[in-house]
Amino acid sequence: MTHCLAPIANGDLRRMAIGKGQSKLGDKAPVRLVYVADIDKFKMAGFQEPGLWDKETQKAYYYVDTGLIAANVYLFAASRGLAAWFHNCDKAGFAAKLELGKNQRVLFGQTIGYLSA
């Protein structure tokens, strides 16, 4: 499987990629990532673990995975002289705009760009 970013929706959704009341923070940043967990992917796990069928265990996995990915984004940004900020986002708005399924969860956003003086 090739890993890549795939467009899901048209338009500039950066304002939705941050929590309500924070929309002006980092609003000129060129990139905002939104992390979405797809619970149905647990059915295709490459290993057998009974806990993968437990909702709380699933939650632990996708939150830890999101944190690991975000940490790698921080490291990459720092290596390129960029700033990164992990934050909440408009979860309901994003889920509706992206037409997510019932087993897909919007978790967090991350803004990447240059620090402004």
In this prediction the pTM is 0.81
Residue 23: Cβ within 10 Å count: 14
pLDDT at 101 over 80: yes
pLDDT of residue 47: 62
Inter-CA distances, 112 with 48, 50, 84, 96, Å: 36, 37, 4, 24
Owner of token pair 């999101």: 66
Q: How do the domains of the chain map onto residue ranges?
A: 28-113
Residues 98, 17 contacting (CB under 8 angstroms): no
Cα separation, 78 vs 82, in Å, equals 5
Q: Which of 71, 73, 67 is nearest to 5 (CA)?
A: 73
CATH T-level topology, domain 28-113: NADH Oxidase (3.40.109)
User: What does the pLDDT look like over 83-98, one tens digit per residue?
Assistant: 999 998 888 888 888 8
User: What does the pLDDT look like over 4-45, one tens digit per residue?
Assistant: 877 778 888 877 777 777 766 777 788 889 999 988 877 666
